[in-house]
Amino acid sequence: MAELHDLTALEQGAAVAGGELSSVALTDHYLDRIDREDGSLGAYLTVTADLAREQAAEADRDTAAARRDGTRLSPLHGVPLAVKDLVQVADVRYTAGSRAFTDRVGDLDDHVVTRLRAAGTVLLGKTNLPEFALPCYTENRLGPPTRNPWDPERSPGGSSGGSAAAVAAGLAPLAHGTDAGGSVRIPASACGLVGIKPSRGRVSNGPSRPDITGLSTHGALARTVADAAALIDAMAGRMPGDVYTAPGYPGGGTLLDHAGREPGRLRIAGLRAPMVPDAELHPDCAAAYGAAAGTLAALGHTVEEVEMPADGGIVEAFTHVWSVEAASYELEPYEEGELMPFTAYLRDIADTVTARQYHQALRTFRGVGQMLTDLLFSAYDVILTPTLAEPPVLTGELCEDKDPAADFARMTAFMPYTTVYNLTGLPAVSVPLSWNPDGLPTGVMLGGRYADEPSLVSLAAQLHASASLTPRHPAMW
């Protein structure tokens, strides 16, 4: 017999809306699974059981009233989810993954949380992340590392690794993440999930840490494209004080609407080679990319291989801006000693970045976006790449702490495809398409024009459906 966590998030929402399932029972199911399983997984930093039950009871009252009145609620109303501990939830522990902030408590709801409350979702808890979400693993000094549900010896990626692990293990039906260099798409690939990074300005980054660089955005992790699209719909929208705001979707409608539509015949540029110097593509990831290209061609799309030159200047520009982001966290002198070596390393780099270098880095970002528009999106609708250059790595492999500079170079080689969409603000989706001979998931990535998430979501749903005849789950499912 299927269990509640076998249902998709949208199936759960429909069951709650129809009265076949209560949000309270659904929430208790996930809280029980978290209590049993998360001790060995480490997906959550804080479990908000009392708040979750309160919100679930309120959701049940709302759905009962909606049935009486004939009104329609959000498709995720009453559905539990997890939120990455990089955003504030009022009166809930808020660590940003740092031991320096172990006992800090959120004093407000960030706008994305306000949106999720308005959609009637239920907060199960705050998920694990590396310190300040800076690297692409999920290890910190707050406790044990987050494990990959497919292989506990391996990393789930990061920085939204706790969110991805929770969804892949059935400890949440879907989860919020943030993505400033690939931090939703990396763990999506490593954990066999769909990960959507929307266009810059689609989801508000305010009010507590508005991102003036435009690198970071909130994104969605889920088992299906439709679930992830529904979560983006719940989070999206302009909020007071936003620095960036994205326009409406071409053709209107919601992203969930487009997840159920055929994409039409698209022109797809295949970029197999990384744009980062000295990065090498692992055969397993190359195979996943090749399978995706072949499937897309069989579905009637035009797929053409395109070569773009590797550019070390992009890495340098990202390093300058990312180091300043690391330094933007205000710490007391005694808190500096609590930082991870990689965080301290980036903050030291920030001390050497001049105003002119910072400005030039931001100009480089804009130049990359213009280049993609002029050279690729003038002739193609979508870009296809691997999501990562390697399958999931062993825990600790990217976080040795002895040589942070070497760790940074190693991370750059691991994730050479994802960051370009943060520099440019363009949308991207990681799709779980393949598992390697070791049983580890390997994703592929679709990137699109600014504000054209619908094309990506429609195509991702078509691609995912063609390759997902039988759902796959890790052993702990």
342 near 409, Cβ under 8 Å? Answer: no
Rounded to whole angstroms, how far apart are CA atoms 110 and 372? Answer: 32
End-to-end CA distance of the chain: give it in Å, rounded: 14
The token pair at 347 is 């903050």
447 vs 204: CA distance, rounded Å: 21
Short-list 263, 255, 279, 224, CA closest to 419:
279
402 is annotated as an active-site residue:
no
Catalytic residue among 22, 98, 155, 159: 159
- Give CA–CA dist 423/273, Å, rounded: 18
In 3-state terms, what secondary structure has residue 245? Answer: coil
Q: Strands 174-179 and 217-222: what pairing?
A: antiparallel
Those residues whose C-beta lies under 8 Å from the C-beta of residue 152, and which sit 6 or more positions away, are 40, 41
Residue type, 151: D
Per the residue annotation, which of 183, 189, 216, 458 is the catalytic one? Answer: 183
| CA 201 – CA 224 distance, rounded (Å) | 23
Beta strands, E only, 273-424: 302-305, 382-386
Q: Is 122 helix (H, G, I), strand (E, B) or coil?
A: strand
The Cα–Cα gap between 156 and 152 comes to 9
Whether residue 138 contacts residue 157, with contact meaning beta carbons closer than 8 Å, is answered with yes
Q: Which H or E run contains 44?
A: strand 44-47
Residues 130, 159 contacting (CB under 8 angstroms) = yes
Task: Number of helices (H) and strands (E) in the chain: give both, helices first.
Answer: 16, 11
> Does the active-site annotation cover 328?
no
Residue 221: count other Cβ atoms within 10 Å of its Cβ: 34
Check: CB of residue 126 under 8 Å from CB of residue 45: yes
Contact between 25 and 79 (Cβ < 8 Å)? no
126 carries an active-site annotation? no
- Which listed residue (22, 23, 74, 84) is catalytic? 84
E-strand spans in 161-314?
Answer: 174-179, 194-197, 217-222, 267-270, 302-305
Provide the annotated active-site residues: 84, 159, 183
